[in-house]
Structure 1
Amino acid sequence: MTTTKAHDERISKLTFASVYPHYVAKVEKKGRSVEELQEVITWLTGFNAKDLQRLIKDNATFEQFFAEATINPNASQITGSICGYRIEDIETPLTKQVRYLDKLVDELAKGRKMEKILRTPT
């Protein structure tokens, strides 16, 4: 699936700091913790809590955020629909990475078990 250039530019310019509070609110509303959210983000990006706080403080865009990230090699196992798009069909790497993060946050908020979210082999 090809997204539009305008769509991709909008996503790249969004700041992690503007979206992170929404992630926190979403998971806490469903009874999950900020620590679990950070575990999910760490799994996907390699960032620890200190890194996340720095990126928030620096107002890093998603483009900067993911440029610094070390994407988990198992991230390609994240599939399904998010925001009307099938993740596995998204061709733009940055947009796909942002949707990976959105999908993991959704799974956490929906109460999915952490080992499933983190694609831990059974």
Structure 2
Amino acid sequence: MDNSRVYKMSFASVYPHYITKAERKGRTKAEVDEIIFWLTGYNKETLQKHIEEKTNFESFFDQAPQLNPNVSKITGVICGYRVEEIEDRLMQKVRYLDKLIDELAKGKAMEKILRK
């Protein structure tokens, strides 16, 4: 499968959709941001910088300070694929984020989403 289209998409173009998905289900932008911070190691300022610069997904994850050591605890199906079985590491990171936002929208507690 050619994932280059996804990799070249700007994170800023997808970020509002994450927020909309969460807010439709009564969750908040702050919770979306907390998930992104947990997964990538970014903080409010560095996340905002990537949004303003329209960083693509490939660079967004390549420049992440530190992928959370508990990402291996993220399991399940997103977009028809088991996240733990995705071999392409970059696509796996993108799907990790999709999965966490999906769990947020489904009403899961933040403690469980952040694998605490």
Classify the TM-score, shorter chain: over 0.9
1:57 aligns with 52
The Cα of 1:14 is off from its aligned counterpart by 1.1
State which of 10, 18, 24 in structure 1 corresponds to 2:13: 18
The Cα of 1:104 is off from its aligned counterpart by 0.3
Instruction: Determine if the alignment matches structure 1 residue 90 to structure 2 residue 86.
Output: yes
In structure 2, runs of 5+ residues without a counterpart are none
1:79 aligns with 75
- SS state of the match for residue 73, structure 1? coil
Backbone CA RMSD of aligned residues: 0.7
In structure 1, runs of 5+ residues without a counterpart are none
Instruction: Determine if the alignment matches structure 1 residue 119 to structure 2 residue 115.
Output: yes
TM-score between the two structures when normalised by the length of structure 2: 0.97
Instruction: Determine if the alignment matches structure 1 residue 29 to structure 2 residue 24.
Output: yes
Q: Could you list the runs of 4 or more consecutive aligned residues of structure 1 that deviate by over 2 angstroms after TM superposition?
A: none
- SS state of the match for residue 70, structure 2? helix
Once residues 109 and 47 of structure 2 are traced to their aligned partners in structure 1, the CA distance between those partners, rounded to angstroms, is 23
TM-score between the two structures when normalised by the length of structure 1: 0.92
Instruction: Determine if the alignment matches structure 1 residue 103 to structure 2 residue 109.
Output: no
Once residues 11 and 81 of structure 1 are traced to their aligned partners in structure 2, the CA distance between those partners, rounded to angstroms, is 18
- Percent identity of equivalent pairs: 57
Q: What do the CA deviations read for 1:44-92 (whole angstroms, capped 9, x no partner)?
A: 0011111111101101000000001110010111010001111111000
Once residues 49 and 108 of structure 1 are traced to their aligned partners in structure 2, the CA distance between those partners, rounded to angstroms, is 19
